[in-house]
Amino acid sequence: MKPASDPAAAPVALRRSLTLGPLLFYGLGVIVGAGIYVAIASVIGRAGAAAPLSFLLAGIAAGLTGLCYAELASRFPEAAGAAAYVKQGFGSDRFAQLTGLVLTLAVAIAAASIASGALHYLSLLFALPAGILTTLLVASFTVLAMLGVRESAGFSAVIGFVEIVGLAVAAWAGFYAAPDLSFGRMLPADFAAWQGVVAGAFIAFFAFIGFESLANMAEEAKEPHRTIPYSIIGAIIISTLLYILVAAALVLAGQGGQSPLIDLFQGANASLFAAVGALAIANGVLVEIMMLARLFYGMARRQQLPAILGHVNPRTRTPVLATGLAGAIVLAAALLIPFQHLLALANALTLGIFAAVDVALWRIQRQQPAGKNVFVIPHWIPPLAAALSIGLILAELIP
Q: Which residue has the higher pLDDT, 292 or 148?
A: 292
Type and span of the H or E element at 1 = none
Q: What percent of the chain has pLDDT over 70?
A: 84
Q: Summarize pLDDT for 54-104 with one digit per residue, the tens.
A: 999 999 999 999 999 999 988 888 766 788 889 899 988 888 888 888 877
C-alpha count within 13 angstroms, C-beta hemisphere, residue 260: 28
Q: Summarize pLDDT for 208-249 with one digit per residue, the tens.
A: 887 887 877 777 777 777 788 888 999 899 989 999 999 998
Predicted pLDDT of residue 34: 54
Paired with 221 in beta bridges are: 18
Predicted pLDDT of residue 3: 47
The secondary structure of 10-42 as a DSSP string is SPPPPP--B-HHHHHHHHHHHHHHHTHHHHHHH
Predicted pLDDT of residue 340: 56
**Pair 232, 77: CB distance under 8 Å:** no
Predicted pLDDT of residue 361: 94
**Pair 318, 145: CB distance under 8 Å:** yes
Q: How many beta carbons lie within 10 A of that of residue 131, not counting itself?
A: 11
Distances (CA, A) of 394 to 43, 199, 361: 17, 10, 22
Burial label, 116 (beta-carbon count in 10 A; 0-12, 13-18, 19+) = buried
Measured distance between the N- and C-terminal CA atoms of the chain, rounded to whole angstroms: 65
What is the three-class DSSP state of 78? coil
Burial label, 109 (beta-carbon count in 10 A; 0-12, 13-18, 19+) = buried
268 vs 276: CA distance, rounded Å = 13
Q: Which residue has the higher pLDDT, 11 or 373?
A: 373
Predicted pLDDT of residue 228: 85
Q: How many beta carbons lie within 10 A of that of residue 115, not counting itself?
A: 29
308 vs 69: CA distance, rounded Å = 28
What CATH architecture does domain 26-368+378-397 belong to? Up-down Bundle (1.20)
Predicted pLDDT of residue 362: 95
339 vs 334: CA distance, rounded Å = 8
DSSP 8: G
The per-residue pLDDT of the chain, averaged, comes to 80
Query: For the whole model, what pTM was predicted?
Result: 0.77
Q: How many beta carbons lie within 10 A of that of residue 147, not counting itself?
A: 16
Predicted pLDDT of residue 346: 75
Averaged pLDDT for residues 103-114: 75
**Residues near 302 by beta carbon (within 8 Å), at least 6 away in sequence:** 80, 83, 84, 87, 96
**Pair 116, 333: CB distance under 8 Å:** no
Q: How many beta carbons lie within 10 A of that of residue 11, not counting itself?
A: 10
- SS3 for 121-186 is HHCCCCCCCHHHHHHHHHHHHHHHHHHCHHHHHHHHHHHHHHHHHHHHHHHHHHHHHCCCCCHHHH
**Pair 185, 49: CB distance under 8 Å:** yes
pLDDT bin (cut points 50, 70, 90) of residue 355 is very high
Angle, CA 264 vertex, CA 197 and CA 190 arms, to 5°: 20
Q: Summarize pLDDT for 113-161 with one digit per residue, the tens.
A: 777 666 666 776 777 787 788 788 888 878 877 876 666 666 766 777 7
Averaged pLDDT for residues 195-220: 81
Whether residue 379 is predicted with pLDDT greater than 60 in this model: the reply is yes
- Least confident segment among 73-77, 194-198, 296-300, 339-343: 339-343
Predicted pLDDT of residue 152: 64
13 vs 311: CA distance, rounded Å = 9
Q: Which residue has the higher pLDDT, 368 or 355?
A: 355
Predicted pLDDT of residue 9: 44
Predicted pLDDT of residue 99: 86
Predicted pLDDT of residue 117: 66
Burial label, 268 (beta-carbon count in 10 A; 0-12, 13-18, 19+) = exposed
Q: How many beta carbons lie within 10 A of that of residue 349, not counting itself?
A: 20
Predicted pLDDT of residue 386: 95
pLDDT bin (cut points 50, 70, 90) of residue 33 is low
Distances (CA, A) of 105 to 19, 99, 238, 311: 29, 10, 28, 22
